[in-house]
Amino acid sequence: MYATSKIHYDVTQKEMKQPTLIQIWKTQNELEQSVAGKIYEVIRRKLKEKTQCCIVLSGGGTPRNVYRRMGLDETNTLIDWNRVQVFFSDERAVPPDDPQSNYGMVQREWISHIPVPRSHVHRIQGELNPKSAARKYEQEIRKIFEHDPVVFDLVLLGVGEDGHTASLFPGTDAVLEKEALVTSTFVQQFKNWRVTLTVPVLNAAHEIIFLAAGTKKAAIIQRILEKDTPDIKLPASLIQPPQGTLCWMIDEEAGLELKEHSSIIIQRL
């Protein structure tokens, strides 16, 4: 049972595992260009349907390349940025000007190139005590959604070679959090604290895109996608939006170990 603000749904295992769409591009270059275009397409589509569009962006090298392309894409002038709210999936416990900051990276690569109101960019305050930063971020999210359920329109996630996504790392309590929207977590392998959105709020999203490229991700992608049921040892496998869509957008290298499976649909582009 996942409870996210007013969303309460008891999703049976069967419902949880809809076929997952895997889109595979020949090169990382084509993949990144397609993901950048997809994000703008979702934003434009959502703004035709509703008053505002709320997106969640992840950190990491692969997402960074996408943000760089988005920043250079002239079609971004076609978007009414006054109706877009930008959130982050997670943040390292560092100040915004630290090279490790996800916000700092997205700001440099994309946000500084678009006229989105600064008050619409919801930074996780990594410079604060992680627990306080988590609490403040949750309050800010709830304030934007007011009395509506916290349902993000689009979530862009990366995946680590250990199966983590956002800052939901295997073996951490953050992976098990079922009530809070945001939590703080100490990541042993990086010896640092992080603040992250939790599984329930990610799974409440309308559209989730996993982005991965390169041979290093091939093994973990196969391990995640061959799973019939979510596995807390592979946090990315817990991301199964019962009412939303899930699409993995990867390049051929990242798809090298992928095997046909009843719960995945592979599209080669």
Contacts with ligand 6PG, residue ranges (CB under 6 A): 58-63, 89-90, 102, 158-160, 164-167
Nearest distance in Å: CB 175, ligand 6PG: 13
CB of 33 to ligand 6PG, least distance (A): 16
240 φ, ψ (degrees, to nearest 5): -140, 85
Cβ proximity to ligand 6PG, 89 vs 172, nearer residue: 89
Residues in the chain: 269
Q: By 3-state DSSP, what share of the chain in percent is helix, strand and coil, each rounded to 5? A: 40, 25, 40
CB nearer ligand 6PG, residue 158 or residue 241: 158
Q: How far are the Cα atoms of 8, 151, 153, 240 from residue 243, in angstroms, in the given order?
A: 12, 10, 12, 9
| Residue closer to ligand 6PG (CB basis): 115 or 171 | 171
Q: Closest approach of Cβ 149 to ligand 6PG, in Å?
A: 24
> Token match 């945001």: residue?
182
Considering the complex, what minimum distance in angstroms separates the CB of residue 228 from ligand 6PG?
A: 24
Question: Taking the complex as a whole, how short is the minimal distance between the CB of residue 137 and ligand 6PG, in angstroms?
Answer: 14
Task: Kindly state the smallest distance separating residue 260's Cβ from ligand 6PG, in Å.
Answer: 25
Instruction: Tell me the two tokens of residue 267.
Output: 């599209």
Return d(Cα 49, Cα 38) in angstroms, integer. Answer: 17
In angstroms, the CA 67 to CA 41 distance is: 14
Dist. CA 248–CA 225, nearest whole Å: 10
The smaller minimum CB distance to ligand 6PG, of residues 62 and 237, is found at 62
Shortest CB 174 distance to ligand 6PG, Å = 12
Q: Closer to ligand 6PG by CB, 151 or 212: give it.
A: 212
**What's at 81, amino acid-wise?**
W
**Nearer of residues 63 and 255 to ligand 6PG, judged by Cβ:** 63
Q: Taking the chain, what is the end-to-end CA distance rounded to the nearest angstrom? A: 36
Q: Is 90 left (phi over 0), alpha (psi -120 to 50) or beta?
A: beta
Name the token pair of 246: 């899930």
Is the Cβ of residue 81 or residue 154 nearer to ligand 6PG in the bound state?
154
